[in-house]
């Protein structure tokens, strides 16, 4: 890989991926394209400002003329599409934005890649790759047993997962119809540094620290398969390097936890680490009305990526959640700055002139 377009690189997983790629791919140029929605935060790239291999461009993946200019200037051989609206609760309130970015945005990127890599009447340029970062939510919900795998039929239940499923289908269509060398990863729930505090784990850490009620949806027995974010990034790097073109790879942590157990673990860790509160943080747990269409259980069979590419998660949940809690407690100003929007000053200082 010589030149990678990383869309959504100021978000949670995208920014962790930028760090992983800079430390793994010595001479590769990285261009982050991000429109900086509420979830996109250039402060997530703090410390990388002086790295000449990294360029940041504020822009929308739906902007065809911007994509055209970037593909011409940078001659990308790789696209990794993280850009998305990613929060299920928001998709229930406002599905339109999810269709716009997740579906139309993905097609806009496919169109740009096709124009540059597979001109009409010519075969595709050698060595190029288009990787779509997708989710296990496209498969719907599991019962008490079973695991999602690459051949599980799609059965999305929320506007978010439906929009991600649609995007996956468009990527597959680009492979079959137009010969675009595509790859798809379907990953389980990520956690770790730089996640916007609307998602379960950072939200619980923040509320527990501040003594606010901790909302647990329904009976708290929904199950998610948790993967530390750097393990997801290493999976993507492996798939880019050696994945079979046109293929999909399921990526999971082999780490099923009920939501209530995750929340209680975080409360106990904060009790242990921080100065003592007047009562145990578990007392803040409040059961609230369930999320509509709330999927009961997700769990991934990562057998294919383990067998074919030798990838396995390296950070177990006890270690990962401890690291994550410590990171959030130590990075209070980061959390508050992204919530109140003052990080934009950072953007102006470090990226405004590029």
Binding-site size for ligand NAD (CB under 6 A) equals 30
Q: Which is nearer to ligand NAD, 76 or 281 (CB)?
A: 76
> Which residue from 19, 116, 129, 199 is in contact with ligand DAU, where contact means CB under 6 A?
199
- Residue closer to ligand NAD (CB basis): 131 or 284: 131
Match 């990294």 to its residue by tokens. Answer: 54
Please identify, among the stretches 35-43, 165-173, 196-204, 312-320, the one whose residues bind ligand DAU according to the rule CB under 6 A.
Answer: 196-204
Q: Which is nearer to ligand DAU, 69 or 288 (CB)?
A: 288
**Helix (H) or strand (E) segment spanning residue 130:** strand 129-135
Contact 46, 16 (CB under 8 A): no
- Residues 179 and 18: their CA atoms lie apart, in Å, by 27
Which position among 7, 15, 86, 108 is part of the footprint of ligand DAU (CB under 6 A)?
A: 86
Binding segment toward ligand DAU, per CB under 6 A, in 85-93, 246-254, 275-283, 317-325: 85-93
Cβ of residue 10: shortest distance to ligand NAD, in angstroms? 4
Is the distance from CB of 113 to CB of 180 less than 8 angstroms? yes
**Least distance (Å) from ligand DAU to the CB of residue 120?**
35
With CB under 6 A as the contact rule, the residue among 154, 217, 347, 350 that binds ligand DAU is 217
Q: Say whether residue 256 binds ligand DAU (CB under 6 A).
A: no
**Mask for 282-301, x = binds ligand DAU (CB under 6 A):** ---------x------x---
Task: Return all residues near 15 (Cβ < 8 A) that are at least 6 apart.
Answer: 9, 41, 44, 45, 194
Using CB under 6 A, which residues numbered 113 to 172 contact ligand DAU?
135-137
Say whether residue 83 binds ligand NAD (CB under 6 A).
Answer: yes
Stretch in the footprint of ligand NAD (CB under 6 A) among 56-64, 68-76, 146-154, 252-260: 56-64
Contact 33, 70 (CB under 8 A): yes
Residue 128: closest CA among 180, 71, 172, 170:
180
222 counts as binding ligand DAU under rule CB under 6 A: yes
Q: Out of ligand DAU, ligand NAD, none, which partner does residue 298 contact, by CB within 5 to 8 A per kind?
A: ligand DAU
Q: Which residues bind ligand DAU (CB under 6 A)?
A: 86-88, 135-137, 188-189, 199-200, 203, 215-217, 222, 224, 259, 291, 298
Residues engaged in binding ligand NAD (CB under 6 A): 7-8, 10-14, 33-37, 39-40, 60-62, 82-84, 86, 101, 105, 133, 135, 164, 187, 189-190, 196
């Amino acid at each position: 890989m010589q030149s990678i377009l990383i869309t959504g690189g100021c978000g949670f997983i995208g920014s962790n991926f930028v760090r992983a790629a800079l430390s793994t791919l010595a001479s590769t140029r990285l261009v982050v394209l991000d429109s900086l929605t509420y979830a996109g935060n250039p402060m997530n790239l703090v410390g990388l400002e002086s790295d000449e291999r990294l360029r940041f461009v504020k822009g929308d993946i739906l902007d065809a003329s911007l994509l055209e200019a970037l593909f011409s200037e940078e001659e990308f051989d790789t696209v990794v599409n993280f850009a998305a609206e990613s929060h299920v609760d928001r998709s229930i309130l406002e599905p339109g934005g999810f269709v716009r970015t997740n579906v139309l945005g993905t097609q806009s990127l496919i169109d740009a890649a096709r124009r540059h890599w597979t001109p009409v009447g010519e075969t595709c340029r050698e060595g190029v790759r288009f990787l779509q970062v997708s989710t296990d939510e496209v498969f719907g919900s599991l019962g008490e047993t079973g695991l999602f795998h690459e051949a599980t039929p799609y059965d999305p239940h929320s506007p978010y997962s439906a929009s991600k499923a649609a995007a996956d289908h468009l990527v597959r269509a680009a492979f079959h119809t137009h010969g675009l060398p595509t790859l798809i990863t379907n990953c389980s729930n990520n956690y770790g540094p730089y996640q916007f505090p609307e998602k379960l784990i950072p939200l619980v850490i923040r509320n527990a620290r501040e003594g606010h009620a901790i909302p647990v949806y329904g009976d708290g027995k929904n199950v998610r398969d948790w993967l530390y974010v750097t393990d997801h990034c290493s999976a993507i790097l492996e798939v880019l390097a050696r994945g079979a073109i046109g293929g999909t790879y399921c990526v999971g942590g082999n780490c099923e936890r009920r939501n209530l157990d995750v929340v209680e673990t975080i409360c106990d860790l904060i009790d242990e680490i921080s100065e003592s509160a007047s009562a145990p943080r578990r007392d803040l747990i409040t059961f609230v009305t369930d999320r509509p269409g709330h999927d009961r259980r997700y769990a991934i069979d990562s057998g294919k990526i383990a067998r074919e590419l030798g990838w396995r998660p390296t950070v177990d949940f006890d270690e990962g959640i401890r690291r994550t809690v410590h990171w959030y407690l130590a990075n209070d100003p980061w959390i508050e700055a992204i919530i109140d929007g003052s990080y934009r000053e950072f953007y102006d200082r470090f990226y405004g002139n590029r």
